[in-house]
């Protein structure tokens, strides 16, 4: 059986994080990643298999693959031209419409769904084992060991802005919120329906917040752009990669942010 638009014979079928069946050739040799953190993982472990990535895939710095535009607006024609055996996507970062169009064109797409640290570890383990036929990489072994310990003592309440004008923050049911919780921090905006709510800084009570973490993505907060908005709260600039990227960054995130 040969599916149009991709170059291998279907030899097996696996199920991705959303429960969708993904036809796979054996073995998967050409991968396009639409998820920056997973791009970093694949470039670390199997660079010879990675043939395409988004413009937002910035790690490793010397990544040399064909770019297929952004996570929300991938160039599907350019992606299909790479004849991938598998495209890796994420439910939050990539549009369901693009996943459907690729699958309709015969391109196998594996969609990850991650909102917690344990989900990240389990999802990446399944991707490597069931989709790519790879042993568990060393960084994943170390990440599991680092994040599997008992929760630390409470450290206080934290706010994590991700944008300004309007101000938006990390809310409930997010990987970032779960990661911080496992480091002892309580997300001040862990309630409500929106995962990334817009807020009015006038409503923020400085006495109820112990720390504001200002990441460098998606909005690039800097020493001159962000801390001045929180004059009565301790602020800390931090790599957005450590807060939001699952993959090799999970090991570094635990080492850096637990201090």
Q: Do 161 and 130 belong to one domain? A: no
The residue behind tokens 């344990």 is: 118
Which residues have a Cβ under 8 Å from the Cβ of 64 and sit 6 or more positions away? none
- 88 has which bridge partners? 33, 110
**pLDDT of the residue at 238:** 98
Q: Which residue range forms the structural domain that includes residue 97?
A: 10-145
| Cα three-residue angle 191-116-244, rounded to 5 degrees | 90
What is the pLDDT tens value at each position of the chain, 259 positions in all? 334 345 556 667 899 999 999 999 888 999 999 999 999 999 999 999 999 999 999 999 999 999 999 999 999 999 999 999 999 999 999 999 999 999 999 999 999 999 999 999 999 999 999 999 999 999 999 999 999 988 889 999 999 999 999 999 999 999 999 999 999 999 999 998 999 999 999 999 999 999 999 999 999 999 999 999 999 999 999 999 999 999 999 999 999 998 7
Please, which contacts does 141-150 make with residues 24 or more away whose CB atoms are closer than 8 Å?
Answer: 142/251, 143/250, 143/251, 143/254, 146/250, 146/251, 146/254, 146/255, 147/117, 147/118, 147/121, 147/182, 147/250, 147/254
Whether 220 maps to a domain, the answer reads: yes
**C-beta of residue 201 within 8 angstroms of C-beta of residue 170:** no
Are residues 190 and 80 part of one domain?
no
The whole-angstrom separation of Cα 49 and Cα 166 is 40
Instruction: Check whether residue 14 and residue 141 sit in a common domain.
Output: yes
Residue 5 is predicted with a pLDDT of 42
Q: Could you count the other beta carbons within 10 Å of the beta carbon of residue 36?
A: 24
Last residue of a domain, one of 145, 179, 197: 145
Choosing from 145, 175, 194, the residue where a domain stops is 145
Measure the CA–CA gap between 8 and 41, rounded to whole angstroms. 23
Residue 9, pLDDT score: 60
pLDDT, position 124: 98
Q: Please tell me whether residues 115 and 176 are part of one structural domain.
A: no
Give the pair of three-digit tokens for residue 46: 């199997």
- 75 part of a folded domain: yes
Is residue 1, in this structure, part of any structural domain at all? no
DSSP 2: B
Q: Is residue 234 exposed (0-12), middle (13-18) or buried (19+ Cβ within 10 Å)?
A: middle
The total number of structural domains that make up the chain: 2
Q: Quote the pTM value.
A: 0.91
Q: What is the CATH number of the domain that holds 36?
A: 3.40.50.1980
Do residues 167 and 141 make contact, with C-beta atoms less than 8 angstroms apart?
no
């Amino acid at each position: 059986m040969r599916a149009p638009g991709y170059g291998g014979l279907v030899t097996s079928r696996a199920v991705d994080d959303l429960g969708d069946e993904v036809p796979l050739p054996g073995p998967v040799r050409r991968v396009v990643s639409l998820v920056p953190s997973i791009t970093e993982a694949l470039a670390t472990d199997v660079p010879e298999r990675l043939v395409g990535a988004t413009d937002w895939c910035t790690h490793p710095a010397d990544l040399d693959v064909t770019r297929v535009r952004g996570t929300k607006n991938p160039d599907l024609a350019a992606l299909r031209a790479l004849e991938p055996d598998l495209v890796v996507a994420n439910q939050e970062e990539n549009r369901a419409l693009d996943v459907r169009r690729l699958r309709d064109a015969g391109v196998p797409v594996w969609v990850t769904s991650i909102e917690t640290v344990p989900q990240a570890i389990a999802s990446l383990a399944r991707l490597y084992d069931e989709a790519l036929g790879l042993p568990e990489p060393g960084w994943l072994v170390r990440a599991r060991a680092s994040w599997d310990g008992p929760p630390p003592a409470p450290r206080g309440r934290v706010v994590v802005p991700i944008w300004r004008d309007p101000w938006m923050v990390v809310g409930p049911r997010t990987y970032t919120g779960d990661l911080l919780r496992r480091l002892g921090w309580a997300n001040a905006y862990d309630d409500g329906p929106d995962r990334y709510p817009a807020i009015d800084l006038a409503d923020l009570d400085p006495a109820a917040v112990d720390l504001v973490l200002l990441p460098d993505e998606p909005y690039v907060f800097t020493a001159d752009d962000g801390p001045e908005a929180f004059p009565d709260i301790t602020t800390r600039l931090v790599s957005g990669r450590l807060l939001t990227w699952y993959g090799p960054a999970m090991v570094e995130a635990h080492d850096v942010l637990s201090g």
